């Protein structure tokens, strides 16, 4: 079974959010069953990391989308990666979606329209003469038009679209239809039109053979007005037709504190001195005062969705109760600034590192006693899984993947509303547990013994692929 996995992020090369971790781990877990090949845009960070890229095909210009070249390379462990080479679209500073100041690139419609159209041609076998796909697995709005381009070109290949976060939809003015070479008659309520705009994501929701999202709870939540982002009617229809499936993400095997080389000191369940050595290390790294109180970590994209404002609102009580806060991540400039300001007010108790570094994130999970996840919604979430493996008990809002992966009172704490008071209820329970060391250590052991292997998820995807192919 030949599967083309279409994504705009992959941990090996470039990361903005959880999509990168999924794109690195899931295709590798699927190699047991399938010839999986990845397609990535040729960002500077991607191209620079390959020593050799073999040119396998050329795409002529289409509508306002420039001509481009398709290259084939491989990861160090031999996973084939196609790279879409088009420097004028992808060789830019900033992140995959926006400029260094955080603004979206104004031509993102062309950048990801070109990407999706090339994916469709590659899948059909018209670009690499040695390979074509039996099935396409597209991810998020940037790849959501792959099923649409296949349909517009009358190519019958089954497609899976995974929604990692419904809030990001790829909305553009109607004129984008012409710019990306989409047929005029696709702009209507049963097509790409969404409140008089063009929605890349809706295109995928309409045209894909099957939809998945990253937890069963989130699959239910997005069919409701509260979390359906205006697309709940369409998603409810697809769910009722058994065409929407929730499959929980996993985490890779490197999240094991016994062997993780990036920690200040490796440790196993029960080795609380090793855990303490990591706490001492991160306190020192962030310039925090010596303390016998707990460390609360926050490793997240710094956006409204993640409830960072709730953490800021709770900070005074956490500190007055003897706790300390360590935060790392990047995101919305006003949230970043609010965290920097909080650190300046209390440098002894609040450590902040704007930006993301994998080693530092691992050390924060290992050194913290609790991990804060007051997300307003959370399709799956990975931090709560990483945290549990590293003995940091998550405090999470009972939503999406958090509800499925945190066992309340056993491996972490759940609270029921995304409000400061409800969140503080979880924090107070954590403090009470911290004071009862036997209970704390029992919960740590339970958390660290959890398995979040990709094997189960990959088997579910494999079954879904086979079903899509057979129908």
What is the mean pLDDT of each successive set of 10 residues along the chain, which is 471 residues long?
98 91 96 96 94 96 97 96 98 91 93 98 97 98 98 97 96 97 93 95 98 97 96 97 96 93 96 97 97 97 96 98 97 95 97 94 98 97 97 97 97 97 98 98 97 94 96 84
pLDDT, residue 132, reads 98
Q: pLDDT of 440-456, one tens digit each?
A: 999 999 999 999 999 99
pLDDT of 395: 98
Q: Which two tokens stand for residue 460?
A: 């579910």
CATH classification number, 272-450, choose in 3.50.50.60, 3.30.1330.10, 3.40.630.10, 3.40.50.2000? 3.40.50.2000
Strands 2-6 and 193-194: unpaired
Report yes or no: 114 and 68 within 8 Å, Cβ to Cβ: yes
Give the tokens for residue 448.
């660290």
* Paired tokens of 271: 């080795």
Say if 2-250+455-470 and 272-450 have the same CATH topology.
Answer: yes
Q: What is the pLDDT of residue 218?
A: 96
As a whole number of Å, the CA-based R_g of the chain is: 23
Which listed CATH number (1.20.1430.10, 3.40.50.2000, 3.90.1010.10, 3.30.70.360) goes with 2-250+455-470? 3.40.50.2000
Name the percent of the chain lying above pLDDT 90: 95
Q: 253 Cβ partners below 8 Å, 6+ apart?
A: 453
DSSP string for 409-467: TTTBEEESSSSHHHHHHHHHHHHHHHHSHHHHHHHHHHHHT----HHHHHHHHHHHHHH
Residue 276, both tokens:
């303490």
**What residue ranges do the domains of the chain occupy?**
2-250+455-470, 272-450
Of residues 431, 426, 391, the one with CA closest to residue 411: 391
CA gap 342, 309 in Å, rounded: 11
Residues whose CB is less than 8 angstroms from the CB of residue 128 and which lie 6 or more positions away in sequence, other chains included: 56, 57, 70, 72, 82, 122
Strand partners, 393: 370
User: Which residues 6+ apart lie within 8 Å of 162 measured at CB?
Assistant: 137, 138, 139, 140, 211, 212, 213, 214
Position 254 scores a pLDDT of: 87
User: Do the beta carbons of residue 170 and residue 144 sit within 8 Å?
Assistant: yes
Given this model, what pLDDT does residue 100 score? 87
């Amino acid at each position: 079974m030949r599967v083309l996995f279409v994504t705009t992020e992959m941990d090996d090369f470039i990361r903005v959010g959880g999509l990168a971790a999924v794109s690195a781990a899931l295709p590798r877990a699927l190699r047991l069953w399938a010839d999986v090949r990845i397609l990535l845009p040729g960002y500077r960070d991607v191209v620079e990391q390959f020593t050799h890229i073999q040119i396998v095909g050329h795409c002529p210009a289409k509508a306002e989308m420039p001509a481009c070249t398709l290259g084939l390379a491989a990861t160090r462990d031999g996973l084939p990666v196609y790279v879409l080479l088009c420097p004028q679209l992808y060789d830019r500073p900033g992140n995959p979606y926006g400029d260094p100041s955080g603004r979206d690139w104004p031509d993102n419609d062309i950048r990801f329209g070109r990407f999706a159209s090339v994916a469709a041609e590659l899948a059909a076998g018209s670009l690499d003469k040695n390979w074509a796909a039996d099935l396409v697995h597209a991810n998020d709005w940037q790849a959501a038009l792959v099923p649409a381009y296949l349909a517009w070109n009358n190519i019958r290949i089954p497609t899976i679209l995974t929604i990692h976060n419904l809030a990001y939809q790829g909305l553009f003015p109607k004129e984008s239809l012409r710019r990306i070479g989409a047929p005029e008659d696709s702009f209507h309520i049963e097509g790409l039109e969404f409140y008089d705009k063009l929605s890349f994501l809706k295109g995928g929701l309409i045209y894909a053979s099957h939809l998945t999202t990253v937890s069963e709870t989130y699959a239910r939540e997005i069919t409701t007005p509260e979390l359906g982002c205006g697309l709940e009617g369409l998603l409810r229809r697809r769910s009722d037709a058994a065409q929407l499936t929730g499959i929980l993400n996993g985490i890779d095997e490197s999240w094991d504190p016994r062997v993780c080389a990036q920690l200040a000191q490796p440790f196993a369940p029960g080795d609380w001195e090793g855990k303490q050595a990591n706490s001492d290390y991160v306190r020192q790294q962030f310039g925090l005062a010596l303390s016998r109180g707990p460390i609360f970590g926050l490793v997240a994209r710094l956006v409204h969705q993640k409830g960072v404002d709730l953490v800021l609102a709770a900070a005074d009580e956490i500190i007055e109760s003897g706790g300390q806060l360590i935060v790392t991540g990047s995101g919305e400039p006003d949230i970043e600034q609010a965290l920097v300001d909080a650190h300046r007010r209390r440098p002894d108790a609040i450590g902040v590192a704007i930006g993301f570094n994998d080693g530092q994130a691992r050390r924060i999970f290992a050194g913290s006693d609790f991990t804060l996840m007051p997300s307003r919604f959370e399709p799956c979430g990975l931090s709560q899984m990483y945290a549990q493996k590293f003995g940091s008990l998550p405090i999470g809002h009972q939503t999406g993947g958090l509800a499925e992966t945190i066992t309340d009172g056993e491996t972490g704490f759940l609270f029921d509303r995304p409000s400061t008071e409800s969140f503080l209820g979880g924090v107070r329970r954590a403090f009470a547990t911290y004071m009862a060391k036997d209970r704390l250590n029992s919960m740590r052991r339970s958390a660290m013994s959890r398995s979040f292997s990709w094997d189960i998820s990959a088997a579910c995807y494999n079954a879904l692929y086979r079903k899509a192919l057979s129908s």
